[in-house]
Every structure is written in C-alpha cells, then in structure tokens.
Structure 1
Amino acid sequence: MLDAGGTAPEAIIAAGAVLSVVAPHFCGLGGDAVWLVADRMGDRRCFLAIGQGIDRPLPTAPIPTRGAGAVLTTAAVVDGWAHALDYSARVLGGTGKWQDLIAPAATIARQGHPVSTSQAFWTEFRLPEIADWPGFEGLFVADGQPLRAGTHLRQPALAETLDTLAERGARDFYEGTLARRILRGLHDNGIPIAATDLAQTRTRETLPLSAPYRNRLLLAPPPPTQGITLLQIMGILGRLELAGLTAGSAAHLHLCIEAVKHAFKDRPSIADPKFAAIDVERMLCDATLDAKAAKIFPNRALPWPEPWQHGDTAFLGAIDSAGNAASVLQSTYFDWGAGVVAGDTGIVWQNRGAAFNSAPAHVNAFAPGKLPFYTLTPGIALNGAGRPEFVFGTQGADGQPQTLSVLLTHLIDYQAGPAEALGAPRFLLGRTFSDQRDSLKIEGHAGPEVMGRLARLGHEVAAIPAYSPLAGQAGLVLRTAEGADGHHDPRG
C-alpha cells in the first residue's frame, strides 16, 4: 500500500485487516484498536476504537475471563478502520478506497494461509479449554487436536464477512445485514448484545497525551488506556541520570524497573474519563514526577507486587513517503478473546469485558456505554521540530510500558540502532502463565552478573529464556532521509 502511494493510515488498515485473518488468536474483527496518528507537520490525533459496555445490568458475580459472561462490550476495530480512512482522506489527501484495503484480507481468508508458530502454540496451550468453546472445532482445531504450524488454514466464513464489509462498508458491521448475522450468532451463545449496542459503537477521536523526554516529545493515548503510565515512566526516567550508566547493565535496568513500580501505583485510577474524574494534569506534572523520581534509590528495590493483567495484542506501525505516521495496536484482549465465534461469521469475539469490575464502587465498574481500562499503548516520537521521527509499540498487556521503557532508553539515551534496541535484554515485572510469582523476570541474555546484581539490590529475580516472547514483541518504524525503515522484534 505504501509502495502504491498510500498514506500511513491506509497501509495500517490493509495490514490490520490481513492480521485479523492470519493472527486470529491475537486480534480480529471482534476486537478493538487504539490509534495514534501524526501528520508530516506533527499535528496529532488519537482514535479510540474501543467497544463500549453493552446495555445490561451490572454483573452480580466476579466477571469470568472466557465464555458468554466475558462478552460485556461491543467491538470497534472495524469502525476504527473507517474513521482512520476518513481522516486519511480529509487531512492527508489520501485516495485509498475502502474496498481495495479490505479485499486482500478477504482473498487470504478464502484461499488460506499457513498457520503461524504463535497461533499453533496458543491453540495447543489452550486446548483443554477450547473443547468448550463453540465454533472452534473444525476451524482452529481438527478432531480435538490443534492445527500445527504450517498447516493450510482456510476461513471461508470470515472471507464472506470481509467480502460483505468490502462491498457494503464498515457500518454494515454495526447496522446492516452483517450486524444481524453477528447478533444472531452471539445470541445463540447466550450473549445479550442488542442491535442498539452495535449501532451505538463509535470511535472516539481525541488528542493524544504528550510529554517531553530528553530532546523529543513522546505521544501516547489518553485514558482509559495506560498511555499515561508510559509517559509517567519516561518522565521519571527523564529526571534520573542514565547517560553515565552502561546500556543493559543492572544499574540501567534497575532504574527502569523502579520507574515502572512508581508509575504503576497511579494506574488503578485510570478509567473511562466520561465515568470517572482522572487528574491527568496532576499525574504528568513536574511536582508529581519529581516526587516519584526522588523515591528511587540506585541501591535498593521498592517492594512489590501490584495487581497484574494478562493480555495479547498486535502492533502495527507505518510512516509514509510524505512523513505522516500511524501507530496502532489491535487486540481481542486474551489470546483467543472470549473463546466465542459469532455464529457463521467466522469472527472471534473479544473478552475485554473481563477488564471491568463487578463491584459498584470500583473505578472500573461495568456500566452500559462505558469503555473498559485498556493496556494498549501505541506511541509516536516527535523530533525537535515537532515532526514524526519514529513510531513504536509492543504486545504484552502490563508488560507494554515495561518493554517500551527499555526500548526507548536504548534508542534515545544510548543512541542504539533499532536492531540493537529491539534485541536488548528486557524485564517483566509480574506473573506469567508459566510462573505465578510476582517476581522480576529477566531475559537470559542479560547474563548472570546483571541478574546477580539485581538480586543483591532486593529484586526477586527469575530467569526467562533469552529473547522470550513473554518480554513483549515490539516494532519500530523510523523516518529516514530516504523514507522510512521498519524493524521487527527478534522475539516475534
């Protein structure tokens, strides 16, 4: 799409549609997306393509993570694509046509594609649960067995859905013949989404949050996302002296870890600003960040744990030939979302409702029309002239700002190249599916000396494999004199 002269948002729509086919375990039409865009002069927008709470009472029991009870929201990724295409035409002068952007994904779904190693892993890992997930047998599993990596997977139902979208437009997903098919499929699974719920789904356009870091301005999405947490982490690190430390050393990682801890203390207050008062200005002001930075000691770790959230997603980034940038994360929340296929549409629906709380007084209590707390944290860095320099993002739920703290400090503080920054050892503070302790996971290629030093500082260190997918799967697109360069994570 870029080679054909398309804009960055047009390229992301096309790539995002294809990812909904070839990465059905991490993202899809039944999920959401968070967009950051900045034009060639640095004018910036955020598109929150997030499905709202459906019109139903507050759950009286804890919200499950799978099944019909976890489906408490609509899905907005398709509306987000349409919103981004409109922005591309109005603001960037884009000429891309909706049908041309969606059609390649429909073709791939119809003709088939090889199952990825990631999809094969997550299918096998969830196999005991998948037996109870309607619509998965015969699609993502065969005779009770997971599809192996490289298996040719065709998704004719999803191809038909994408054909309908290409022909009838995005709103058919919410108000047309496709909407009726979706509703029928969800109702058959006992999910009480109403036609009015789908029809009311709209992308919110707002301004991104921004904060300086060294000689750049970092952009991140506002609440209900944890973008403000990333900016707090970087704001804290901006008040600490990293230049004299060795990149990837225990001293460097310790400061990143401690900045994460202090920023995460404010994270429980993040919620939909239409339903909760969130003092963004206070959270990012100099006094707050100064105070947090002053509580960090170079020779002592702050006790942990804090609550941990699971989640998976997919990052897309693009910079076009004119210098316009887009940074996007698409997600169905957990791998395989709610474990529900919407009837004959081929759409796996998200379980983002599990991010709500069933306690009425909780800041993230479920409510109709409310957006849940979101871990998606795409970013854009503007240069000293206020123009897009690079876009960045990663998979990894709570780990997203943690991974990005390492990535950004390597890029900015240590002037590392993209490959070096993406390959540098990372940490993950919290639990994983293989280790339920709230320990500090460190990638093996950090080395025993770094791990030993972190342990002596008071961290409960646990090693994970070198280049572990648990440490996030990030991407970078950098503006260059010749155009733009894209770089993917070796962990992906």
Structure 2
Amino acid sequence: MSSLFHLSRRDLLLGSAALAATTSMPKFGWAAPDPSALARSTKGMVTSPHDLATRAGLEVLQKGGNAIEAVIAIGATLSVTYPHFCGLGGDAFMVISDRKGNVRTLSGVGQAAANPPNYTDSVPIRGPGSALTAAAAVDTWDQAFDFSRKSWGGKQSWASLFQRPIEYARNGFPVTPSQRFWQSFEEKHLKDWPDVRRIYMADGRMPEVGDKLVQPELANSLEMLAANGGRDFYEGKLAERIVAGLKAMGSPLTADDLARCRARDEAPLRVKYRGGELLGLRPPTQGITTLEIMGILDRFDLAKYPEGGVDHYHLMVEAVKRAFIDRNRYIADPEFVDVPVNFLLSKENLDAHAKSIDLAKAMEWPHVFKKADTVYMAAVDSSGNCVSMLQTVYYDWGSGMVAGDTGILWHNRGASFRLDPKSPNCLAPGKRPFHTLNPGMYLKDGKPRVLYGTQGADGQPQTLAAILTRMIDYDQDPLTALTKPRFLLGKTFSDTRDSLKLEQDAGEEVFKQLAARGHEMSPIPAQSPLAGHPGAIRIAEDGTITGAHDPRSDGRALGL
C-alpha cells in the first residue's frame, strides 16, 4: 500500500496536451508537478486532488470565469479522471460565498426511490440493490450555474465547462496511483462488477499507473449534458438512457425518481470559533458534527498546548467522540425526523461536552465506523467570490454498476440507510440518506478566510479538526497544516479495532503519553492514505491567497 502512495506523491502528474484516442493502454510520459509547493496568488486560486482537474478550473479563471464556473469544470473533470471516488452518478455539496460573506449552501443529496425493495436484513453494500438513491451532483452544478449567471454575472457558457472532461473521456488520460490502488484493493470483488471490468480494465487486465484510460460512453453522456443543460440528466434524452440502464441493471429507481431529484438551497449552519465563524451544511450531512467538534474545542485555549503534542491530539479526539455520539443519535433527513440542530450547537450542549472532557483520561469507545470516499475542490476568483465543494460516489467505485451505455457509474449512498425503525436514518420512500460529506468555510470579520474539506467518511470531521486547529490556532499555512500527522478514531479498511490510529511521525513520546491516558493506539505509516485527502485555501486580510492539496493525494493547488 505505502509504495503506491509514495509513488503518487513522487511521480504524478500529468501533461495536459490532448491524447490520441486508442483502445490500447500505452504508457505516457509526463511532467510531474511539485506537490510540496505552496500555491500563492492575489488574483484567484483552485485546488483539487487531480492535477488535470485543477488545471481545468484554472483555465476557467484565466478566461475571466468565476469560482462557481471553475468548480463545475473541476467537478466534471474529476468525474472522468477520478472515477473511483466521484462521478455524474453521485452527490455533491457546495458552500458558496461572495467576498462580503454572503453565504449559501447547496446540499445535493439524491433521495431514495419511491418504491424501494423490501430488504430483509440490511441494504446491500454493492450491486443494483445499493443503487436505490437518485444522484444529485449534476443538479447541484446546474443550480450553482444558474446562481452564478443571475447573481455573479457569470459569462462562461455551460458547454465550455465540459470541454476538458469531454476531451479526457474521449481521448484518454493517464491512470493515477490512487485509481490503481483502489482498483487493486477491490480486485477480489471485480468478478461481481462486470461494468467496472469492461470500462476500467482494457483487454481484461488491471491498469498500471500511467496507462491511458478512455471512456467513450461517458464522453457521449458528457456531450449530451453540455449541449442540453443540467436537467437533461433528470428529464431529457440523457435521462431516458440513464433510466433504461438503471432498470436493466435492477435498480429500483424510475424516471419519476430521477425527475424529482433536487439539491436543497439552504442557509449554512454556524458556530463561533476564535473570534470568527465556521460554516457548514445542514443535515442530513455531518456538517453539524464538524461544527460541534470545533465548538467544543473553542472552549479550550489550544494555543497554550504545543501543536502536535499529546494535549492537542487528546483534546481533538475527545471532542470527536462526543460529537460522534450526538451524530449517531440524531443526524438524518430533517424532512422525515426531528434533528435538534439548535440544541446541538447551543452553548449549553457545547459547554457540557467540554466540561466532560478529562485532560488526563480518554473516554471509552467504540461506536459504528462509516466508510466512504469522495473528492474535495475549492476556488477563489479575482472578485473574491469563493466555493468550497465535495463530490462522491460513497464507497470507492460506488455500487460497482454502470447505467447501461451511459458510462455513468452509479453511487451506493443508499447503503447508508438502516432498516431498524428506531434509527433516525431508517429507509423510507423519498428520504435522503445520512451523508458524511461536509465542506466548510471560516469567516473572520464577516469575510471568507479559509475554505476547507476532505475525503474520508468518519475521518472527515477528524481530519478537519486537525487542519483547522493548525491553521487557525497555530497559524500554519495550508501546506504545513495538511502535511502534519493526523489521526483516525475507529475501524479502517485494514484494522477492525476501534482504536486510535495515528501517523507514526507524530512521534514515539506522543504515542506513549496518549496510551497512558487510556487511548488504544494503532500506528499507521506517515502520510497514510487513511488520513484523508483534504485541501485548503486561505485568504489573508490583505488579499493574499495561499493554498494546497494534501501531499498524500494526487492533486495540487494552482494560483491565477
């Protein structure tokens, strides 16, 4: 595992010239970007986990496009170049702000089918039974694009934002170390995923890093989307093909389910932190969980504790535990259950949680681990408008099923539903499932100062706590904050214990002292992929913009 991810940091990425279309998989030479460089600018910035996607967003800014237009181009490109983590058949979330701090969020969660199957023990993790929720990513782009035109004077055409994604799907791009790793990781399941084998394994073999991947069916779908607009995915000719493909593969979704899919335009949730405000999305996302963690930590003077020391880690982990208990008890679709949002972020609740933390002793764990994979992207334009965004297909490779001849891999977010009627996340027709995704934004003096988000399911709030405390409490630049050792509480792909995983470069003494306080410790390699793939952009008071994407990923930030 570690060798592949060292390769991704050392040897990737990518020439952006168009690649000749063939069905074979030749190796490509490329000029690797410098992942250690901190991007700087005063005019604009983009970041994502894939160099080609970051460059697609930068091109939009260079043409005079705004931050919304840039992230749509990035998201569409990642749907091609990062198929294992996101795609048209998944969900998406945005936190959108102008330079004055007027913020709105788009929560793109596809709802359950109107007539879901009568599952017995649980919702299937993979296969057609897991493809039971609509996909809201494209509607999120569509609504954001409409807002861009009406409120920000957006000038880029919808079709122009799909130029690069169509090019890479039609002509090909080099397979990344991340894709290679996750395809190898699921190798034992590939026999059950004929669509994944057909599209992502040319000549029936596992691709190597640098092999060219072409996706002509996806290119056709992207061309239809570019020509006919976002709602074509839900109500037009493309929708007809998608529905036919979903029906053929055994999904319970119908044309009516797809037509009813809409992202929610909502005011953000807010919590005070160090004289500013952290903003996140409303349930059914766990945005409130990250805010609750940070609200608890705001009750402690972290600056008096050494950054990366035992007290820093202990306080973060203990805040996570308390917020996770609240999350598992309450968070679900508020259109179906009562979610006590005001109470969870209230002074009363945050004070009580903070007072319950013993600086010398860890609270006992375990609780349920939730798995997922996703991608983070962000953009700031020359006017100071900004977007913080996440996209996902839930598990790596989603449901493992493609909708007919569309090339669209469908997500398996419906697998996060429970069948226990006592669970707030119990499956119901038309209900939106609990979502781990929670991009965010930090405002100071009412203006955007930090854009942030990460891949990692349960790890998302934990990774964000580490990044935000380092950037806000310890005044670290984005690259330094992203590079430092991180933790993950709970089960992982390779360790079923509910232990505290910590990257080894945190230091032997930190491990010893955390263990002495009662944490069950499990070391993971430095710069481990288990620690998430976050990105961050900071906007200083003087307008200087700095940004980076996690050195553990295949991406980078680029300034205008």
Matching residue of 2:366: 305
Aligned pairs (5 A) from 1:7-46: 7-46=66-105
Partner of 1:395: helix, strand, or coil? coil
**1:323 Cα deviation from its structure 2 partner:** 0.9
Partner of 2:195: helix, strand, or coil? coil
**1:95 Cα deviation from its structure 2 partner:** 1.5
Query: Aligned partners of 2:159, 2:224: CA distance in 1, in Å?
Result: 10
Aligned pairs (5 A) from 1:208-227: 208-227=268-287
Instruction: Mark the CA change 1:361 to 1:297 in structure 2 (over 3 Å): closer, same or farther.
Output: closer
Matching residue of 1:199: 259
Contact kept, 8 Å, 1:172 with 1:178, in 2: the verdict is: yes
Contact kept, 8 Å, 1:321 with 1:483, in 2: the verdict is: no
Matching residue of 2:159: 99
Query: Aligned partners of 2:418, 2:120: CA distance in 1, in Å?
Result: 10
Query: Aligned partners of 1:239, 1:361: CA distance in 2, in Å?
Result: 33
Matching residue of 1:172: 232
**1:18 Cα deviation from its structure 2 partner:** 0.2
Matching residue of 2:424: 363
Matching residue of 1:320: 381
Select the residue among 97, 112, 115 that pairs with 1:56: 115
Matching residue of 2:11: none
Count of paired positions: 491
- TM-score normalised by L of structure 2: 0.86
**1:485 Cα deviation from its structure 2 partner:** 2.8
Name whichever of 242-251 and 414-423 sits farther off.
414-423
CA deviations over 1:178-225 (Å, ceiling 9, x no partner): 111111111111112111001111111001101110022110101000
Contact kept, 8 Å, 1:319 with 1:478, in 2: the verdict is: no
**1:141 Cα deviation from its structure 2 partner:** 1.8
CA deviations over 1:273-304 (Å, ceiling 9, x no partner): 10011111110010100000001011100000
Structure 2 residue identity aligned to 1:47: L
Matching residue of 1:113: 173
CA RMSD of aligned residues (A): 1.1
**1:241 Cα deviation from its structure 2 partner:** 2.1
Aligned pairs (5 A) from 1:191-270: 191-268=251-328, 269-270=330-331
Partner of 1:463: helix, strand, or coil? strand
Matching residue of 1:74: 134
Query: Aligned partners of 1:208, 1:180: CA distance in 2, in Å?
Result: 34
Matching residue of 1:274: 335
Contact kept, 8 Å, 1:115 with 1:153, in 2: the verdict is: yes
Contact kept, 8 Å, 1:103 with 1:162, in 2: the verdict is: no
CA deviations over 1:301-344 (Å, ceiling 9, x no partner): 00001111000000011111111110000000000000001111
Select the residue among 427, 434, 446 that pairs with 2:506: 446
**1:137 Cα deviation from its structure 2 partner:** 2.2
Contact kept, 8 Å, 1:444 with 1:464, in 2: the verdict is: yes
Matching residue of 2:520: 460
Partner of 2:536: helix, strand, or coil? strand
Query: Aligned partners of 2:519, 2:169: CA distance in 1, in Å?
Result: 47
The structure with higher relative contact order (CA 8 Å, sep 6+) is 2
Structure 2 residue identity aligned to 1:24: P
Query: Aligned partners of 2:197, 2:389: CA distance in 1, in Å?
Result: 31
Query: Aligned partners of 1:3, 1:388: CA distance in 2, in Å?
Result: 22
Contact kept, 8 Å, 1:475 with 1:488, in 2: the verdict is: yes
Query: Aligned partners of 2:428, 2:313: CA distance in 1, in Å?
Result: 39
Partner of 2:523: helix, strand, or coil? strand
The reply to whether residue 377 of structure 1 matches residue 438 of structure 2 is: yes
Select the residue among 215, 221, 246 that pairs with 1:155: 215
Contact kept, 8 Å, 1:321 with 1:484, in 2: the verdict is: no
Matching residue of 2:48: none
Matching residue of 1:341: 402
- TM-score normalised by L of structure 1: 0.98
Query: Aligned partners of 1:361, 1:457: CA distance in 2, in Å?
Result: 35
Structure 2 residue identity aligned to 1:51: G
CA deviations over 1:446-468 (Å, ceiling 9, x no partner): 01111111111100000000010
Structure 2 residue identity aligned to 1:18: T
Query: Aligned partners of 1:21, 1:121: CA distance in 2, in Å?
Result: 17
CA deviations over 1:128-178 (Å, ceiling 9, x no partner): 111111312231124543211111001100000000000011111111111
Matching residue of 1:137: 197
Contact kept, 8 Å, 2:129 with 2:252, in 1: the verdict is: no
Instruction: Mark the CA change 1:151 to 1:141 in structure 2 (over 3 Å): closer, same or farther.
Output: same
CA deviations over 1:346-378 (Å, ceiling 9, x no partner): 110000000111223321111121110000010
% identity of equivalent residues:
50
Aligned pairs (5 A) from 1:359-438: 359-384=420-445, 386-438=446-498
